[in-house]
Each structure stands twice: as structure tokens, then as C-alpha cells.
Amino acid sequence: MAHRIAVIAGDGIGTEVMPEGIRALEAAAQRFNIDLAFTTFEFGSCDYYLAHGKMLPDDWFEQLKGFDALFYGAVGWPDKVPDHISLWGSLLQFRRQFDQYINLRPCKLMPGIKSPLAGREPGDIDFYVVRENTEGEYSSVGGKMFEGTEREIVLQETVMSRVGVDRVLKYAFDLAQTRPRKKLTSATKSNGISITMPYWDERVAEMAKQYPDIAVDKFHIDILTANFVLHPDWFDVVVGSNLFGDILSDLGPACTGTIGIAPSANINPEGTFPSLFEPVHGSAPDIAGKGIANPIGQIWSGAMMLEHLGYQEAADTMVKAIEDVLSEGDSQVLTGDIGGLGNTLSLGQAIAERIRG
Ligand code: NAD
Ligand code: IPM
Ligand code: MN
């Protein structure tokens, strides 16, 4: 039976890297005999907003809930629609309403790519950021008072539920158990944020009792960001709240040379709702329309989607194809962010060709 995939390209370079993501997935599907049926949606983009006054149609949940996965590009075009409206009206609704409470973001220094950190080689940077994805600092609890006056107050609460914290920690501990180093690092800030962050630490300590084989450490987020740069080799699985995970998952990939290659899986582990796969990067208005965006983040997200659907070998083949093309280092093929003279199409085509075998 065909796997039904909803495709939403979104804005800016989302629309440029998406065709390469699909090209790579189609190559893998052909080679491994996987039946993928793509359905493209125009909503979830700023142009849709300009035409309809909203980011999504009222029945978006009904339209999408039956799909096996969502394949997303990037959303946001601040000159057309304020970011908080476009993002809260689309991507953040998918994550919340489809209860995609895990945001899994690998950070790996690939062969052939130069890290901006001196002397770092592939193997030195290879970890996962596991980001809480439905609550925390991204909350709709809050408001404005005395608006427009000198007494104006704005307030937005951090929300941590026991269920919400425990389920992301459990996922991260379970992931650490599958890794050779069996190490978990928790991002905290319990010195300054005195209610929610100590609670996070408490839940980590409680959960750690059930995983005696996992080496657990924690860092306050400020020094943790410094250690990402100074000692990226220390990390294996890093778990953090929604905002801390967001920050770490741009910094981690930047340490691996470019955020253009970083993928992410927004997962509803129970499979009650579809999971969503998208690059970590955004719509990049500064380079959009030029056809020069790196498509690897989108392609690798496609590999994570195939893994999620149960096709481990196909997923591994896609990642291997990415590694092979990067190691080859043909400057006519690679995009500018990784030192090449090529473009989105040349890199996407080279990877798809490798996947075909
Ligand atoms: P961004 O990730 O779009 O861009 C940051 C920088 O990285 C830019 O200089 C850009 O050119 C570069 N870059 C990003 N992706 C690249 C790629 N594939 N290849 C080469 N270079 C790449 O972040 P931003 O500028 O903060 O945000 C732009 C818009 O995207 C905003 O509207 C923002 O809200 C939105 N955004 C969306 C998502 C998402 O859909 N998941 C993620 C981040 C930002
Ligand atoms: C990401 C993005 C989003 C986030 C924005 C665009 C709302 O930065 O996917 O990392 O903060 O989650
Ligand atoms: Mn982000």
C-alpha cells in the first residue's frame, strides 16, 4: 500500500529545496520498491496568507490527519507577514495539534566539510539534539495589559507539565541507550530560572534512576553553548526545553559547517498523528530566488522520514549518498555555503544519482 505523504513547501528556499527532497525520495523509493504517494498543498505559506487572510484553511487538521507523514520545506517571509503570525499559524500548529512532542535534530560533521572549529574532523562532532516540541517557552499562556500606555506589561509563561517533560526525557534516554557512548546531557538554567528549570532537573534526576547504564550530565545553557564550540566531542544526546533545543539545534549544525545540511524530525512517537520532517533552517530570504540553497537539510529530512516509515536501509542509503557526494568534494556540484560553485539543482541531482546506485 502506498504511503501518503503531504508536501508543503512553504516560502523562500523552502520551495527551492523541496523538489530536491522529492527527487531524492523518489530515487530511494524506486531502488527499494517503496510506494510513496505525494500530495502537494499550497497552504502553510505566506502567499496563501496574502490570498486568504490565514495561513491554513479551517479544516487543515481534517485534511492532513490521515497522511502517513508531512514533508515540509520552510515557512516565513517577514516582509509579507509578521513571523509570529506565519509561524504560529502553521508550523507551530502542526507540532502542537499533531502532538509531535519530539524534535529530533542530528548534528554531524560530514566528510569533506570544513568545520569552522579549528582542527575538528568527522567523528569529532556526532550528536543528537532532542528538543521538547509542544510546550515550554513556546506557550500561548500570557497577554498584554495597559496596552499603549506607559504602564504597558507583556507576559508569556513557560509551561512544563510532568507528562510533557517526562516523555521527552524518556525518548532522549532511550535514544542514548542505542548509542555506543550511552551519554546524555541535559540543558538547564536552574540557577536563574528558579521554578521551571529546577523542575526540569528534578525530572532528569528521577528518570536517570531508571537508566543506570547512561552517563548523565547537565550544563546551564550559557556554558553549554560555549562547550558546543569548545568541546563538541563531549556530546552524544543533548536534551533541552523547546527554546534551548531551538538554539542548540542551530549552533550544533553551524559547528558542522553550515545549517544548510541539518535535518529534523518532528515526531509523534505513538503514531496517533502524522509526524513532520523538515530542514532545521528557515526560508532564507537573503538567498531565496537564486537557486543556490543547500538542499541537503531537506534531503536528509526525507531520509529521516523513510526511517520513521520503517525503511532503515533506504534511509541509510540516502545518508550514505549525501556523505559520498560531500567526500567527493566536486566544487561544480557543491553549493556555496560548503565552499562550492554549484547550486541547489547540481547538488540535488548528484545525490539522487548516488541513491539510484
Ligand atoms: P534562516 O535559516 O532562514 O537563514 C539563516 C541564514 O542561513 C541565512 O543567511 C541563510 O541564507 C542561511 N541558510 C539557511 N538555509 C540555508 C541553506 N539551505 N543553504 C544555504 N544557506 C542557508 O533563518 P532566519 O533568517 O532567521 O529566518 C528567515 C525566515 O525563516 C523567518 O521568517 C523565520 O521565522 C523563518 N524560519 C522558519 C523555519 C522553519 O520553517 N522551520 C526555521 C527557521 C526560520
Ligand atoms: C525551527 C524554527 C522555528 C522554531 C521557528 C521558525 C518558529 O526556528 O524549527 O527551529 O523556533 O521552532
Ligand atoms: Mn530554529
The letter for the amino acid at 289 is G
- Give 55-87 as a DSSP string: SS-TTHHHHHTTSSEEEEEE---TTTS-HHHHH
- The H or E element that residue 317 is part of is helix 312-328
pLDDT the model gives residue 83: 98
103 CB less than 6 Å from ligand 1? no
Cell numbers found for residue 70: 508531512
Q: What is the pLDDT of residue 255?
A: 98
Distance 153 CA to ligand 1 centre (A): 30
Return the closest-CA partner of residue 283 out of 41, 90, 64. 90
Ligand 2: does its nearest atom lie under 6 Å from the Cβ of 251? no
Check if the beta carbon of residue 309 is closer than 8 Å to that of residue 1.
no
Mutate to test the pocket of ligand 1, among 88, 264, 281 (most ligand atoms within 8 A of CB): 281
Model pTM above 0.90: yes
Q: How far is the CA of 296 from the centre of ligand 3 (A)?
A: 17
Is residue 189 part of the annotated active site? The answer reads yes
Query: What's the 246 CA to ligand 3 centre distance in angstroms?
Result: 5
Determine whether the shortest distance from the Cβ of 87 to ligand 2 is under 6 A.
yes
Q: Is ipTM over 0.90?
A: yes
Instruction: Please tell me the distance from the alpha carbon of residue 275 to that of residue 71, in angstroms, as a whole number.
Output: 9
Contact at 8 Å (CB) between 219 and 227? yes
Q: Which residues, at least 6 apart from 115, have a Cβ–Cβ distance to it below 8 Å?
A: 109, 124, 125, 255, 256, 257
Note the pLDDT tens digit of each residue in 283-332. 999 999 999 999 999 999 999 999 999 999 999 999 999 999 999 999 99
- What pLDDT, on a 0 to 100 scale, did the predictor assign at position 296? 98
In the residue annotation, 47 being an active-site residue is answered as no
Question: In this structure, which residue's CA is closest to atom 37 in ligand 1?
Answer: 282
Q: Which residues of the chain have pLDDT under 70?
A: none
Q: Note whether 105 and 279 are within 8 A (CB).
A: no
| Angstrom distance (rounded) from CA 282 to CA 202 | 34
